[in-house]
Structure formats: C-alpha cells, structure tokens
Amino acid sequence: MCGIVGIASENDCVKGIIAGLYSLEYRGYDSSGIATLNDNLFASKKSIGKISRLENAIIKDKISGNLGIGHTRWATHGKPTLNNCHPFIKNNCALVHNGIIENFEELVKTFALNETCIKSETDSEIIAEICDKLLNEFNNPIDVIKKISQNIQGTFSFAFLIKGSDSIYATRRGSPLVLGLSENLNSISSDVLGLPDETREIIFLEENDIATINPSSISIYNIKGNSINRKKHEFVAKKDFKTKGKFMHFMEKEIFHQPICLEDIILNFADKKTNSVFLPKNTIDFNNISNIILVACGTAYHACMIAKYWLEQMTDKHVSIDIASEYRYKKNNIDKNSIAIVVSQSGETMDTLECLKKFRQNDLFTISIVNVLNSSIARMSDYVLPTLAGPEIGVAATKSFTAQLAVLALLGLHIQQQKNNIEKNVFNSLFSIHESIKKILKDSKRFEEIAHSLRDAKSIFYIGRGIMYPIALEGALKLKEITYKHCEGYAAGELKHGPLALIEDQIPVIALAPSDHNFSKILSNIQEVRARGGKSIIITDKAGSIKAKKYCDQIIVLPDTNYLTSAIIYSLPIQLIAYHLAVLLGTDVDQPRNLAKSVTVE
Ligand code: AGP
C-alpha cells in the first residue's frame, strides 16, 4: 500500500528519504518517487518497480535538498506508470498522497481547473493542481490546505512542498501520518518504520490535523487553523527489525521469531504460579455479555474462525464471525448484549476499520487485537489487546497470526477465569508452546523435502476438520500468496461434496490431522483421496502417525497438542511449506506480486 516519507533537515535529506522508502517496501508498492526543494527549485525523480531503481536513477543524476518528500505507490487509480507516479509537481507545489479521493472528478469543476493540465490517471494530481491554484489566492499554505481538506470526500494523507517556504506541510484524514522529531531533522511518514533512525520522539497526527515540519521545529493546527498540541511518544529503535540478519528473507526471520514472540505474549498476559490470565487494564465483565462478534480480513479472519471454535467450546457465549468487507455492507441484527472484537496485524485495514466504526455507531463496546499499537484501529477502539509480535515486514502474515491466536486463546481463558472455571491443564500447556515450536524449527529441513515434492503439482489441497479447517484455509492462502500456485483449503468432510472430482496424482492433498476426536474421520477422508489416485501428505502427532503411516506418501510428526495449542503449532508446517516452495520456485517471498502489507483501501 502507498507510503509517504518527508524529511526537513539541516543537511541533505535525499539519503534519509530513500532509506525511509526502503523501510516501507514491506507494505507493497509498484512505483516510487521523490521531490526536493532546493534554492526554491523543485527537483524530482520517479521510477517504476523496486526502490533500488529509484536510488540508481538518483546516483546517476543527483538531486539534493534540505526539504524532501518521497512516495511508494500501490496503484489504485491508473496503472503503475511514470505519469501516475508521485510526487506531482505543479508550479509552486509538490505533493504525495495516500488514500482515495472519491470526488476527484467533481473537484475539477468546483475549482474550475484547466483539464488539459491533468496528465495522469490518478486522483492525486488534481489536488496538486488545486493547491497551486489556491496558493495564488491565499497568503498562507495552511489556509490552502484547510480549503482543500474541506472539499475532499474520501481518505487522504498528504505531504506538500511549497515554494517560498522552508517547511513540509502535511495533513491527514482516514489514512495515518506520524511525525518524527530529532535534534537536526524532523520528519513525517505514513508508518513509524519510514522515520529516520535518529528519531527520538514521535507524534501521531489525528484526523484533520495540519502539520508544518522544518529542520528545527514542528507545529500542528486543527481544521480551523488554530495551533494545537499532540502527545509525544518515545521512538523505539526499529533497526533490529529492518535487517534480515542471518536469514534469507524477512518471512523466514519472522517464522523463526515465533518462539520468542509466543513466550513473550504468554508471560506478559499469564501467570503460571497463580494460574491466572491478566489482560492489561481490563475492566470488561464478560459474565454480562452473551454474544461475541469477531471481524477481520485475510489471515486475521482465519484467526477469528479458530477463535469461534475455541470460544464456543470454552465459554457459554454465542460467537459470530464475519469477513470485514462483507460485514460492513450488510444488514446486521446486532444484539445489544454483544461485544465486538476486530483483529488486525496492521491496525489500518480499511474494511476492518469501517466495521469498527459501525460497531461504535451501534454503541457496542469494541476490542481490537492489533500488532501495531497506536494504529487507527487501536486508537478507535474502547480496549486494545496488543499482539506483541514486533514489526512484521514480510507481506505474508506469519508471526502476527500465531500471536493473534495466542491472544485469542488467552482471552478465552480469561473469560473462563471470570467464571472461576479456567481449564488448568490447557492453561499450563500454553507455557510450553514455544518449546514445541523450537523443535519444529530445528527440523525445518523436512519441510524443504515436502516443498520439493510439491514443486510440479498442478494444484494442492489442504484439508482439516474442526480447528484444523481454518488452518487448512490459512495454509492455502500462504501457498497462493507467495508461491502463486493454486491451492484450496477444505473442510475434509466437504471433499465428497464436490472437490473429490478434481483428485488425481498431480494434485497432492495435505491433511492436518492431530490425533483428536476428528482423527478417525479425517483418516477416512484421506483414504477417499487415495482410492482416487491422489497423493497424501499427513501432518500429525506421534499417536496419529502410528495409525496414519500406511495411508500416506509422506508424513510429518509434530509434538503433541491439545485443542488450544494445536492451531498455533500446526501453523508452523503450513508457513514452512509455503516458504520453502516459494524459495524453490524463485518468487519474491517478502513482497509477492500484486499484494500489499497494509490494505488501507477497499
Ligand atoms: C496474509 O498473509 C495477508 N497478507 C493478508 O491476508 C492480511 O492478513 C490481511 O490483509 C489483513 O491484514 P491486517 O491483519 O493488517 O488487518
């Protein structure tokens, strides 16, 4: 998704902007650009494809300046072409934009723009045109930005350079912007990761705030143009998350980070000595609530699917789940005795955010389970449960997924605790999850072998029953996302209702089969596959492997699990298989084509 970096420095800002754009690569993009203001002249470079191409273009033909703005573009209006690349420069104004201007065509009329000046297919160029026009009418850039903001329908974050001024100007609505403060430079970005390393403190801009950023100071104004103060937060060093270290890809690093993350989450929220779960600052009495509504997108939605199995098994609550992009546009009969939970790694996913707004309009108490604290979703919800996974750079969600599961499991145990019926054995099992995962990771070569056997498959099936069904869906999503191979996730019992017709020896079926109450059923499903010439790979535990051996071509034996730990532990094989197959096929593991890390548009 699009990213913004702006730097106002006592020294040249170009290197810092390029570094910031590299840090935003993980969000997904298809082109990039930069503009500087030097001696009251704009200089600009744009490029299609990777940031390294933009960097090379700047090395060949240097641009410099103390004030600069940069952008990574993820095409929404118009193809990824140089013409559509930001920044857009119009006489006295240069701008970069994130978000979608819904009324951009009407704005041409409202501001009586000369249409022949519009060269791109974007919704953003028009705002640069308007800005330049208004700069001739108003003395103050703040008044120009106020006027623009008042006329826009849609979502935006903008950074502007304006001739005759030594500041970057920025504003936002529905799309995040964060200011970075340090001694010799100040900066702005759409994401904390885009800020320079020397940043000491950060300020999150609120809806409609307008900021001016120059090398030695920043100021913030509200939509009326009155000066306002916003809270400063300490900037946590991000250096460690920006490097791959000994790993080939961020995704690999993030998969291997899971034992640490999970131990951290469990130890932060649960105390083994007293058998209790502590949800920070929680004042919710779940005994007074009968319904839980969960919404999310993609991988986070799969976490919600698992939570439904868990919460209905662990509590007496009625649990409903929805895909956020569906929930937001349908009629929902909401029982007032409900609590709403939204789950999101980025905390910026537009559809999830819109559901959150809908819940709030219906006066529901809202909980967000997010990885990015201070994200829009976190800030809008009544109560935030952080997933503590640390920044996730790879587009494919890995550690954020297992972290979401851990938090949702703890939530289930917390609800039990409020009824004094916490399942002690299950609770205790959480404390050894990280050890089980370490064992799986130690032996990660096995998954490379599986990946080799899948290399030429026409298509792949993941099947599972119960909690393993959403894991099958997540396994299929991971494979599609980073290997570009077709894969389906199926509830194993559904095979005979259609997809069995597809089974042949070029379509392997991977069964996720811990030896739980569903084991004998899934074993029958595997036999149905084999009877039709299909190849089967079974992922199970020791007890399961004894029974399953004769029914499979390959077998992976995992540590023993229970209904709460199985979802987390069986997530590892699906991540590792996808990762190794992607490496084998030579795809762009961390930034798969057409995808973005943070989906801030519909
Ligand atoms: C999965 O690997 C994804 N990249 C994607 O499905 C993601 O989970 C989804 O876009 C939701 O994102 P969020 O958790 O940041 O809201």
Distance 350 CA to ligand 1 centre (A): 11
Atom index in ligand 1 nearest the CA of residue 352 equals 16
Beta carbons within 8 Å of 122's beta carbon, 6+ residues apart: 77, 78, 84, 86, 88
Q: Is 397 in the pocket of ligand 1 (CB under 6 A)?
A: yes
Q: Is 232 annotated as catalytic? A: no
Q: pLDDT digits over 136-154, tens only?
A: 999 899 999 999 999 999 8
Is the model more confident about 555 or about 175?
A: 555
Q: Is 344 in the pocket of ligand 1 (CB under 6 A)?
A: yes
Q: Encoding tokens for residue 108?
A: 């041409």
Query: What is the residue with the minimal CA distance to atom 7 of ligand 1?
Result: 298
From 2, 131, 261, 355, the catalytic residue: 2
Is the model more confident about 539 or about 592?
A: 539
- What pLDDT is stored for residue 261 in this prediction? 85
Q: Is 571 in the pocket of ligand 1 (CB under 6 A)?
A: no
Query: What is the residue with the minimal CA distance to atom 5 of ligand 1?
Result: 298
Percent over 90 (pLDDT), the chain: 75
Cβ contact 256:247 at 8 Å? yes
Query: What is the residue with the minimal CA distance to atom 10 of ligand 1?
Result: 298
Distance 322 CA to ligand 1 centre (A): 15
Q: What is the CATH number of domain 245-442?
A: 3.40.50.10490
- What pLDDT is stored for residue 71 in this prediction? 97
- Give the pLDDT mean for 371-376: 84
What Å distances lie between residue 433 and 438, 475, 543, 558, 583, CA to CA? Answer: 9, 20, 19, 12, 27
What Å distances lie between residue 336 and 316, 331, 359, 361, 600, CA to CA? Answer: 17, 15, 10, 12, 29
Is 80 exceeded by the pLDDT of residue 325? yes
Distance 345 CA to ligand 1 centre (A): 7
Q: Return the CATH superfamily for domain 443-590.
A: Glucose-6-phosphate isomerase like protein; domain 1 (3.40.50.10490)
Q: Is 581 in the pocket of ligand 1 (CB under 6 A)?
A: no
Q: Is 597 annotated as catalytic? A: yes
The backbone torsions φ and ψ at residue 510, rounded to the nearest 5 degrees and listed phi first, read: -105, 120
H/E segment holding residue 109: helix 104-110
Atom index in ligand 1 nearest the CA of residue 595 equals 4
**Band of the pLDDT at 199, cuts 50, 70, 90?**
very high
Overall size of the chain counted in residues = 602
Q: Is 512 in the pocket of ligand 1 (CB under 6 A)?
A: no
Query: What is the residue with the minimal CA distance to atom 8 of ligand 1?
Result: 299
User: Whole-angstrom distance between the N-terminal and C-terminal Cα of the chain?
Assistant: 11
**Band of the pLDDT at 588, cuts 50, 70, 90?**
very high
Atom index in ligand 1 nearest the CA of residue 478 equals 2
Which of 42-46, 176-180, 390-394 reaches the highest mean pLDDT? 42-46
Query: What is the residue with the minimal CA distance to atom 4 of ligand 1?
Result: 396
Query: What is the residue with the minimal CA distance to atom 6 of ligand 1?
Result: 298
Amino acid (1-letter code) at residue 201: E
CA distance 26 to 40: 33
- What pLDDT is stored for residue 348 in this prediction? 92
Domain spans of the chain, in order of start: 3-241, 245-442, 443-590
Q: Is 346 in the pocket of ligand 1 (CB under 6 A)?
A: yes
Percent over 70 (pLDDT), the chain: 98
- What pLDDT is stored for residue 241 in this prediction? 67
Q: How does the average pLDDT of the chain come out, rounded?
A: 92
Q: pLDDT digits over 87-137, tens only?
A: 999 999 999 998 888 898 899 999 999 888 889 998 899 999 999 999 999
CATH of 3-241, one of 3.40.50.150, 3.30.980.10, 3.40.640.10, 3.60.20.10: 3.60.20.10
Is 70 exceeded by the pLDDT of residue 516? yes
Same CATH topology for 3-241 and 443-590: the answer is no
Q: In what order do the strands lie in the sheet with 365-370?
A: 318-323, 291-296, 338-344, 365-370, 383-386
**Band of the pLDDT at 237, cuts 50, 70, 90?**
low
Q: Is 58 in the pocket of ligand 1 (CB under 6 A)?
A: no
Three-state SS for 189-227 is: ECCHHHCCCCCCEEEECCCCCEEEEECCEEEEECCCCCE
